[in-house]
Structure formats: C-alpha cells, structure tokens
Amino acid sequence: MAWAILTAAFLASAVEFVEAFTIVLVVGLTINWRSSLVGTVAAAATLALLVGALGLALVYWIPLALLRLVIGILLILFGLKWLKKAILRYSGLKPLHDEEAIFEEQMATLRARGEQPRPRLEPFGVALSYKTVLLEGLEVAFIVISFGSSAITPSCSASCALGTAALGASAAGLLVVLVGLLLQAPLKRVPENTLKFLVGIMLTTFGTFWSGEGLGINWPLEDAFLLVLAAFYLLCSALLVLWLKDQARRRVAPGFSSASLPERGGR
C-alpha cells in the first residue's frame, strides 16, 4: 500500500507543480527570481502547515470508517474529473494542455502591465507566485491529506501514512523545480495528459476501494484488489476513448460538415 500511495501522490503532485511552475518561471524571467522563489517558498510553507494540521485533526477526531467513506467519495469525484479531461483530449474533442502557450500569454500580460526586471524584492511578483503555487498546491494538499488519512493500517500509523504521501508530493515538487530551473523554459515535454489520465485512474481506484471499506465491504485479495479496480477503470476509459473517436469520425463522414465537430480551443 505504501508504494501505491507514494506513486499516486508523486504523479498527481507533478501535474499540479508543472502548471504552477509555468507562472513561477514567468515571474522569475519578467521581474526577478528572488520575488518568484520567495512567493513559492511561502506558499509551500502554507501548504505544509495545512497538511500537517488538517491531516492529523481528521485522523484523530473522525472515525476511520467514516473518514474513508467521505474521502473515498471525494477521490472518486476528483479522479473522474481528471479522467474526463484526459479522455476528451485523447479522443480529440478537447485540445491538449499547452504550457508553452500559457507561458507566452502570461509573459505578454506582465509586459503589458509594464513589469520589467528589477533587482529588489517586488511585492507583485511575490504575490503572483504565492497565489499560483497556493491555488495549484491546494489540490496537492487535498491528495496528500486524503491518502495520508485513509491509508492507515496496523503496520503504518497516521504519521507514517501522511509522511509517505507528503514525501511523494515533495519529491515531485523538488524534481519539477530543479528541472525547470535548469531549463528555464516551460516544461512542455512533460506528458501532462498521460499523467492526468494515470492519476485519474489511481484516484478513482483508491476512492472506490476506500469508500467500499467505509461501507464495510471486505474486498477479495485485500489490497491487491486495487489492481483489479485499476484494470477495470483503465479498460472502461480505453473503450470510451475508442467510442468517442468513432463518434467523431462518423460526424465528419459524408453528409456532415467538419463544422459540426466541437470547437477546439480553451484550456
């Protein structure tokens, strides 16, 4: 179970940190890196306090069965949201997320405001980095708290489970920041849609498993049944992608115009 929690937290956090880093990079290149990094570190500290306080409070004050049921349902909803986006993108009904386009758009916005490189700490740059990392990081915090508070077992205490999930998230954040600072360019080569698809599968799988446990279901094969659930959701998603692609081809068949396809644009 620990390796699965670590992997899920790492992958989910990597997606969010890649999106946040694009804005951090814009602030660093447009204003200065000091303002960008101060805002980033402040947001990370805020998120760490939130995870530590809220995560432990949930574990100690709410019965584990009820906690798993509620968090399981939330994870299913959260995972299905990511799966929906990934399936639509694989089907060609929604454009791929373009970090480079977002980078250029944000750069143009800051330049239009008259922002330019300055040596001193700039409150606007700090605030923009802080807000971006905090907003993207709230989803990371939710995932860490969800996994950490629901994955308690006789062999892994509350601090152990929260620590494992937090370790995965921290490793993802550190990796994204290091790679991004080395490249000093948007991380457009990261297979973001594939990551979102995998994370959507994992969140939905864990959500189903834990909500079932909250309802008193004893899954066959115990933790190994996670693999069965993951395979089921993966198969359903793959079939849905194939069906949507077939529907899209039919809509551009003779008798239909290409204008009938959904307009491709937006995030």
DSSP letter at 230? H
Break the chain into its structural domains and give their ranges.
Answer: 2-251
Cβ atoms of 172 and 8 within 8 Å: the answer is no
The DSSP bridge partners found for residue 156 are 153
SS3 113: coil
259 pLDDT more than 50 = no
231 pLDDT more than 90 = yes
- 105 vs 175: which has the higher pLDDT: 175
Closest CA to 209 of 62, 3, 5, 68: 68
- 207 CB contacts (<8 Å, ≥6 apart)? 71, 72, 73, 74, 75, 76, 77, 78, 79
255 pLDDT more than 80 = no
Closest CA to 35 of 180, 138, 111, 132: 132
| Residue carrying the six token digits 């990392």 | 133
pLDDT on residue 258: 44
CB atoms within 10 A of CB 101: 14
